[in-house]
Amino acid sequence: MNRPRRRLCRFGIRQKVVLVLLTVLLTALSVSGWLVLRDMERNVLSETERRGVEMAEYLSRSLAYSVVGYDYHTIQLLLNQVVQTGDVVHVRVLSDRGNTMAEVAHPDREAVERVGFERPVRLNDGTVVGNLELELSIEPIVAQLAEQKESLIKREVLVILLIALGEFLVLSWIIIGPLTRVSRALESNVDENGVILRDIPVDSRDEIGELARRFNEMRAQLNAANQKLHGRVEAADRELKEAYQKLLEQSAALQHSNLELERLSLTDPLTGLGNRRAFDQNIEADMALFRRHGDISSLLVLDLDCFKGLNDTHGHDIGDLVLCQFADVLQGHARETDEVCRLGGEEFAVFLRRADEDGAMAMAEKLREAVEAMVVNVDDALKISVTVSIGVATLSTRLRITSALALYKAADQAMYASKQAGRNRVTHYDSLIAESLTPATHIA
């Protein structure tokens, strides 16, 4: 049995679990890192705000007396020192009238991110003598946050990789390994009869081991059930074959019976000749050939003379014996292509294919002589002779004899003409027309 080829790349339990785990960890750590960074950013900005406020407060107090005394030089020196030594990128001092007394800006002020603070310049008694505007650079804060973010991402990636590796190893050892052994044990473990050949060699105490033990228990039950099923299938197969054979025999018998019934429906039971139905069926094709191609044929209608008196004198059994011997004479003298039928009672017909008027008359005369010479030996004391009157008709378009019915009526009329002329003779329908005994228009 050909084994199915294994797929080179399978997306199994191990890969699925690791993928789900990585997705969950990545989502969880991403959310956690985002929350941590947001807290850190908020804390750093809060610290920057506090530092800026303190610096602005300190500087405004330091400048109060210089602003009151309009000491521009001192103010400018102090501002220069503040900008050069700290994170201050811009500072300006305004008088109480709003005039700029001193202003210092870092050369890179426009290129850095900054945050502004504004504080009034007050004396010790609280009198406002000016205003201080101060801008702190937050570039160190941004750099610090970026560094912390990068460090956090590295830690998260490392944690994810370690967890994924550990989970992969644990899955391989605890789940995938036993499942692989189960899969290999099941591969090609069933023969062509459906019998499971081997147990699953897993003896762990976890769910997989329990599954293997349950399967091994079921194996014996399944094999026993399979054996019983095969026995029943074989028995049913034998019964089916026997039933099929009987059905074939019954079908053959039925076909034979149908053929026999068909034969009987077309056969006269006394003489074994065809009956009127067979006569009509057998000559219908010849009628069509005559109408299409002009193939000539003739019909003899024969009627035993004085047969009713014979039946009344000697009984029907003797009459049947005479009919059977008469039928044998007709069969014996007819050609192989001719159709001999019993139309009913003592009336018989012989259909002569490819026989014209002369040929039909010759055949009719030969049959008349044969019947006249026929002797029916009933017993030593009783010998019976009979004669026959024969009517002959030939297919003719001139006389409108182109159908089976017209041909029969013409031959029947010729047969009655033989009876009227003294019996034991042959008469052709054409001679009746010539003698104007029966008008041709009477033929349907």
User: Of 284, 268, 428, 253, which Cα lies nearest the Cα of 347?
Assistant: 268
Tokens 């001193």 belong to residue: 102
Rg of the chain (C-alpha set): 65
Contact status, residue 101 vs residue 94, Cβ threshold 8 Å: yes
Produce one character per residue of 311-340: b if its CB has 16 or more CB atoms within 10 Å, e if not. Answer: beebeeebbebbbebbbeebeebbeeebbb
Q: How many CB atoms are closer than 10 A to CB 195? A: 14
CA distance 327 to 378: 16
User: Of 416, 436, 186, which Cα lies nearest the Cα of 301?
Assistant: 416
CA distance 138 to 243: 100
CA distance 421 to 309: 19
CA distance 377 to 421: 29
Contact status, residue 352 vs residue 338, Cβ threshold 8 Å: yes
CA distance 180 to 171: 12
- The question of whether 346 is a catalytic residue gets the answer yes
CA distances from 225 to 1, 67, 215, 230, 288 (A): 23, 109, 15, 9, 70
- Catalytic member of 49, 118, 346, 357: 346
CA distance 243 to 255: 18
Q: Catalytic positions, please?
A: 346
